[in-house]
Homo-oligomer: A and B are copies of this chain.
Amino acid sequence: MVDETQVPHFWAVVPAGGAGTRLWPVSRAGSPKFLHDLTGTGRSLLQQTADRLSPLVADRLVVVTGQRHRDAVAAQLPQVAPDQLIAEPSARDSMAAIGLAAALLERRDPDAVMGSFAADHVIADGRAFGECVRRAVTAARDGWLVTIGITPTHPATGFGYIARGGPLADHDQVWHVDEFVEKPSQSVAERYVAAGTHVWNAGMFVCRPGVLLDLLADSDPDFAAALRAVAAAPDTLAEVWETLPRIALDHAVAEPAASAGRVVVVPAGFDWEDVGDFDALRGLLDAEPAGLTVLGEAETVLGVESSGLVIPGGDRVVAVIGLDDVVVVDTPDALLVTTRAHAQQVKGIVARLKDAGRSDLT
């Protein structure tokens, strides 16, 4: 029997940031990836994230986003109460964003366990996801910093890895974490996958808010104190925010905590995709490699002897002839034509446009 009841005192924290520049021109600073329906389901990645979490948390969902996206997030997630939609005065990386949520939850619910989940990842199997999270929450209640690691499907070099140690006593399928490893070389990644000792770090952390802040205090006591002070006096947010370090949670907390033996991992078998670029998006949309996959109005696309991904921009007809693994992305003010193999280079175009003073397009 699968447990389908909500998890008492479990809070989801969703940091919704990141422009997703490798998905330009669909994703832009002013209209980032998480606000877009990139899977053709009619729900944005952010909405799908909320949908996936809601059976576990009911209304205990906190979203941390940039000031400029606050209204768009509120419109997409009307179920989130205003005091659970936190607008960052500026982008200061994940430690500040998730740490602020932790400090607020620490005051609000002494029994809280929180889990942080990116707003722009795709996980098709919500039930398997839920089972992993429940297992993680159980370990988190015992004071562990718990991460959910993705079982690798291939020796990816674009993700960090988590080295699994021995099993955690008194828990089912929870393991000690020996270390977090940054994006490895191809040969190292192949070794990890062959050995079965490593899982992908998808940035999913589950813990008690006080545990997270105490671990932060071990490495940067001022940072932790500042977050707790803001939570006690929310009016000071704008003033304090600009003084906080720009650092990822992985570096500020997860890596040192792993060295200190304070982190455990729940390996997850579900399919997971961070939709990092158009190549990944094409892979996600269609397991069938032949032909053109259309994200949008399929009738507007005419393909001849072609394969790849087309995102039409509306009513304009898009004709593609004789190109394999092509990527065509049409928007009202910008058009991208590339290949799946060159998908990572899209961010270079965004950089060039910024350099040219065309931030209206980025």
Contacts and interface: CB of A to CB of B under 8 A. Distances in A.
Point out which of A25, A305, A323, A346 has the most chain B C-beta atoms below 10 A from its C-beta: A323
Nearest to A328: B337
B349 A321 contact: yes
Contact of A302 (B323, B326, B330, B353): B353
A319 interface: yes
A341 to B, nearest CB: 7
Interface string A333-362: 111111101100110110011000010010
B337 A323 contact: yes
A191 interface: no
A166 interface: no
A315 interface: yes
A339 B337 CA distance: 12
Given A302-B352, A338-B323, A352-B302, A316 B345 contact: no
Interface string A296-323: 0000001011000000000111111111
B338 A322 contact: yes
A308 to B, nearest CB: 10
Nearest to A336: B319
A320 B334 contact: no
Interface of A: 25, 302, 304-305, 315-323, 326, 328, 330, 332-339, 341-342, 345-346, 348-349, 352-353, 358, 361
20 contacts: A25-B319, A304-B349, A316-B333, A317-B335, A317-B358, A319-B335, A320-B337, A320-B338, A321-B336, A321-B337, A321-B339, A321-B345, A322-B338, A322-B341, A323-B323, A323-B326, A323-B338, A328-B337, A335-B335, A337-B337
